[in-house]
């Protein structure tokens, strides 16, 4: 058993994905671990017997890493990788770090290259009944074929050209500059015998009316392949007005392209049924300033064209929906009461059954024999673990890389009533040595989103590392959290600040009634929306000794003009021009003169969701108002902090800041800063 501590935190293997073979006998895991020089995480593929016998076995070892695995019908495995070509051929000019599609034979042996994509491969899917693989790859507008794409990259490189010409929004996505290449779907036939020189068929050619014309880089952001490989169902971003787009669902086959969705919703995660006759997807009503967002399962019969939501009686947001092997049922997960259980929807009876109790589940893999499914399960007591879920919902753990872990803390559930009686739940992480005679200082950790829930383990936001230092950590689900019905989402829709703060303080006050917590030594912290709430609290309360704001929003009007996803906020607040009052009332910067609490501001330079301008303006304001503050800036990190060295440095800086202001210890500067 491995003990969880900051010193060994980055060396623990991290499972991130799960795939079941067509015969139901083999599981392939995607696992992150440290590179040889310990400066980055490398993703590799591991294999595990689906029956749980034997230990997991690592399949791939390249320093370039492997991801996006998919099985061919015979059990061969295709995946993307930046590993060098075994023939010694150099990468194409302008090539990407993920520019190869590879095949690992079912009987083992050396992996061989299938496809070279100079612009990079974003995702991979395989047909279950034919040797056909479809990839989402990046190519230049106007280029036809891989050779032409590589030639244009060479010409740009030789000319020293890096410019990108945009015709429409968006320009960036999370941490990626969009363009000059844009996504297209490519189909590779006879994948089991294809050579690296094989030219794939373009399913979405660069032509008028294609996704390149809308300026969207997440154009085929999610896609699925029919069993015979001849039909692809994909999301399709279409501009519906200035700065506005909808993610439609389209079917691409021999007869061309036709739209399956026509109702103005946003669609994601399409799945084609085992018989190829129906399509399952997630449909999101993004809401309006008067109506909160919602998510539903959506089903389309390709023969009749009949389509619409299903299982709408559940007051939850479904996710990760998958077909059962016989196509008679749909498995899905949904946040619910600080868990994420697995549900089964029977299409004949239209009955929804909850299969699992405790835990947050993902990567659902229904068994081919119809007897349950394989999945990954997590909680605040354990990272992702491979499990088998029986037909009766019984969950059995299977051997998993990196597990079990010994934690320095315990986890328990608490809840409190807001002033209007609304139930606000939370997890409380306690250091093992806390007691009435040795009460622990408490950190209120606010989740991001805001449409999220503290129901699953996070390697990025790990409260146990604070508990190792002696802090208790409170993880509440306030207004706007998912898993507690539409009422909690609507509770602060378009309002945020005070309503969410009231919920947070209600559960905080309840927790501080415990004699093993020190109510006089508290701090608040959060990232993204949690960072926004940290800044809001700083300007509206003096109850904390320290506040940490990671990647938080500061001025909503400024943020609207710089974020990569401005439209998403308009559904709640309108536009700054149409309703400036909403933006002003919800912006923490309007209360900067009231801030007295020391603040640590953290931001990444490649964060395009909440651009670094939010941190710079906040930092400048704190300096001008004489507030004790520090700014931790990572030029090459994004909305999160993903590299091992910077991740450790993040925790060292946060803990030093908390130790100084909450415990009164001398302020320590991390060695590498």
pLDDT tens-place string over residues 333-356: 999 999 999 999 999 999 999 999
pLDDT digits (tens, 9 = 90+) for 352-410: 999 999 999 999 999 999 999 999 999 999 999 999 999 999 999 999 999 999 999 99
Q: In whole angstroms, what is the distance from residue 463 CA to residue 601 CA?
A: 19
343 dihedral zone (left: phi>0; alpha: psi -120 to 50; beta): beta
Structure tokens at 344: 């089964």
Q: Residue 87: which pLDDT band, with cuts at 50, 70 and 90?
A: low
pLDDT of residue 646: 97
3-state secondary structure of 308: strand
Cβ burial of 283 (10 Å; 0-12, 13-18, 19+) is buried
Q: Name the phi and psi angles at 373, rounded to 5.
A: -160, 165
**H-helix or E-strand spanning residue 523:** strand 517-527
pLDDT of residue 238: 80
CA angle, residues 423, 586, 528, in degrees to nearest 5: 75
Q: Which residue has the higher pLDDT, 485 or 240?
A: 485
CA 566 to chain centre: 19
Q: What is the mean pLDDT of residues 507-535?
A: 98
pLDDT over 90 (residue 485): yes
- Which of the 8 DSSP states describes residue 643? S
pLDDT over 70 (residue 107): yes
**% the chain with pLDDT above 90:** 80
CA angle, residues 285, 185, 278, in degrees to nearest 5: 50
pLDDT digits (tens, 9 = 90+) for 216-272: 333 346 899 999 999 999 998 887 777 778 888 999 998 888 999 878 899 999 999
Q: What is the mean pLDDT of residues 549-561?
A: 96
* CA dihedral for 650, 653, 656, 660, sign (positive or negative): negative
pLDDT digits (tens, 9 = 90+) for 19-37: 999 999 999 999 999 999 9
CB 507 within 8 A of CB 472: no
Q: Residue 205: which pLDDT band, with cuts at 50, 70 and 90?
A: low
Q: What is the mean pLDDT of residues 428-448?
A: 97
pLDDT of residue 91: 56
pLDDT of residue 90: 59
User: What's the pTM value of the predicted model, to 2 decimals?
Assistant: 0.94
pLDDT of residue 214: 33
pLDDT of residue 88: 61
3-state secondary structure of 141: coil
CB 408 within 8 A of CB 436: no
Separation in Å, CA 492 to CA 144, 386, 610: 49, 36, 20
HSE, CB side, 13 Å, CA atoms: give it for residue 30.
19
Contacts of 620 (CB under 8 A, 6+ apart): none
pLDDT of residue 210: 36
pLDDT digits (tens, 9 = 90+) for 160-175: 999 999 887 788 888 9
Instruction: Put the strands of the sheet holding 318-323 in their side by side order.
Output: 318-323, 329-334, 342-346, 351-354
DSSP letter for each residue of 437-499: TBPEEEEEEE-SSSS--S-S--SSS-HHHHHHTT-EEEEE--TT-SSS-HHHHHTTTTT-HHH
Q: In whole angstroms, what is the distance from residue 308 CA to residue 262 CA?
A: 10
Q: What is the mean pLDDT of residues 652-664?
A: 98
Alpha helix positions (H), 578-663: 580-585, 613-624, 644-663
Q: What is the mean pLDDT of residues 655-661?
A: 98
CB 657 within 8 A of CB 669: no
Contacts of 376 (CB under 8 A, 6+ apart): 15, 17, 18, 361, 362, 363, 384, 385, 386, 387
pLDDT of residue 212: 33
End-to-end CA distance of the chain: 33
Lowest mean pLDDT among 323-332, 441-450, 573-582: 573-582
Cβ burial of 209 (10 Å; 0-12, 13-18, 19+) is exposed
CB 548 within 8 A of CB 525: yes
- Which residues are paired to 238 by β-bridges? 246
Q: Where are the beta strands (DSSP E) in 264-366?
A: 266-272, 278-285, 294-301, 307-310, 318-323, 329-334, 342-346, 351-354, 360-366
- Structural domains in the chain plus CATH codes: 62-310 (2.130.10), 407-663 (3.40.50.1820)
Q: Which residue has the higher pLDDT, 209 or 616?
A: 616
Q: In whole angstroms, what is the distance from residue 55 CA to residue 260 CA?
A: 44
Q: In whole angstroms, what is the distance from residue 617 CA to residue 595 CA?
A: 14
CB 364 within 8 A of CB 331: yes
Q: In whole angstroms, what is the distance from residue 341 CA to residue 320 CA?
A: 11
Q: What is the mean pLDDT of residues 49-75?
A: 94
């Amino acid at each position: 058993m491995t003990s969880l501590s900051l010193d060994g935190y980055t060396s623990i293997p991290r499972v991130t994905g799960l795939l079941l073979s067509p015969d139901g006998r083999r599981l392939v895991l995607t696992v992150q671990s440290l590179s040889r020089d310990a400066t980055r995480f490398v993703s590799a593929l591991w294999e595990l017997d689906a029956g749980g016998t034997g230990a997991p076995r690592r399949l791939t070892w390249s320093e370039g890493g492997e991801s996006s695995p998919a099985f061919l019908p015979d059990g061969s495995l295709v995946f993307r990788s930046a590993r060098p070509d075994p023939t010694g051929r150099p990468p194409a000019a302008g090539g990407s770090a993920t520019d190869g599609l590879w095949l690992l034979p079912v009987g083992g042996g050396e992996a061989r290259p299938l496809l070279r994509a100079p612009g990079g491969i974003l995702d991979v899917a395989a047909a279950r009944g034919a040797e056909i693989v479809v990839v989402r790859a990046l190519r230049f507008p106007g280029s036809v074929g891989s050779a032409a794409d590589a030639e244009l990259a060479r010409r740009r490189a030789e000319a020293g050209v890096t410019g990108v010409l945009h015709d429409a929004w968006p320009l960036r996505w999370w941490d990626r500059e969009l363009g000059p290449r844009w996504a297209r779907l490519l189909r590779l036939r006879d994948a089991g015998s294809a050579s690296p020189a094989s030219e794939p068929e373009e399913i979405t050619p660069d032509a008028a009316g294609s996704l390149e014309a809308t300026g969207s880089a997440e154009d085929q952001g999610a896609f699925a392949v029919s069993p015979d490989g001849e039909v692809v169902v994909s999301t399709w971003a279409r501009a519906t007005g200035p700065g506005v787009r909808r993610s439609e669902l389209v079917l691409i086959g021999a007869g061309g392209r036709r739209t399956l969705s026509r109702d103005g919703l946003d669609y994601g995660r399409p799945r084609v049924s085992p018989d190829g006759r129906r399509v399952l997807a997630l449909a999101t009503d993004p809401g309006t300033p008067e109506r909160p967002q919602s998510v539903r399962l959506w089903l389309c019969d390709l023969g009749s064209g009949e389509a619409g939501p299903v299982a709408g009686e559940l007051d939850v947001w479904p996710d990760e929906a998958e077909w059962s092997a016989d196509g008679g049922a749909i498995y899905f997960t949904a946040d619910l009461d600080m868990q994420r259980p697995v549900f089964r929807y029977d299409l004949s009876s239209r009955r929804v059954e909850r299969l699992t109790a405790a835990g947050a589940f993902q990567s659902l893999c229904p068994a081919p024999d119809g007897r349950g499914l394989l999945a990954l399960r997590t909680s605040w007591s354990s990272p992702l673990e491979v499990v088998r879920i029986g037909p009766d919902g019984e969950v059995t753990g299977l051997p998993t890389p990196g597990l079990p872990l010994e934690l320095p803390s315990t986890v328990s559930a608490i809840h409190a009533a807001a002033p209007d009686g609304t139930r606000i739940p939370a997890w409380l992480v306690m250091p093992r040595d806390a007691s009435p005679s040795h009460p622990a200082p408490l950190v209120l950790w606010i989740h991001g989103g805001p449409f999220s829930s503290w129901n699953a383990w996070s390697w990025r936001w790990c409260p146990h590392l604070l508990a190792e230092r002696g802090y208790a950590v409170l993880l509440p689900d306030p207004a706007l959290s998912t898993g507690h019905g539409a009422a909690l989402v609507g509770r602060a829709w378009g309002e945020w600040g005070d309503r969410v703060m009231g919920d947070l303080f209600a559960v905080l006050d309840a927790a501080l009634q415990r004699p093993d917590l020190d109510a006089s030594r508290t701090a608040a912290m959060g990232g993204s929306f949690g960072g926004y709430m940290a800044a809001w609290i700083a300007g509206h309360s003096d109850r904390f000794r320290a506040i940490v704001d990671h990647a938080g929003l500061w001025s909503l009007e400024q943020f609207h003009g710089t974020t990569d996803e401005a439209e998403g906020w308009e559904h709640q607040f309108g536009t700054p021009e149409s309703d400036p009052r909403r933006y002003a009332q919800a912006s923490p910067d309007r209360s900067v003169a009231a801030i007295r609490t020391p603040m640590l501001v953290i931001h990444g330079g490649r964060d395009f969701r909440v651009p670094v301008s939010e941190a710079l303006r906040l930092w400048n304001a704190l300096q001008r108002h004489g507030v004790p503050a520090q700014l931790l800036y990572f030029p090459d990190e994004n909305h999160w902090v993903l590299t091992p060295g910077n991740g450790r440095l993040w925790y060292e800086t946060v803990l030093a800041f908390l130790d100084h202001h909450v415990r009164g210890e001398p302020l320590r500067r991390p060695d590498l800063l």
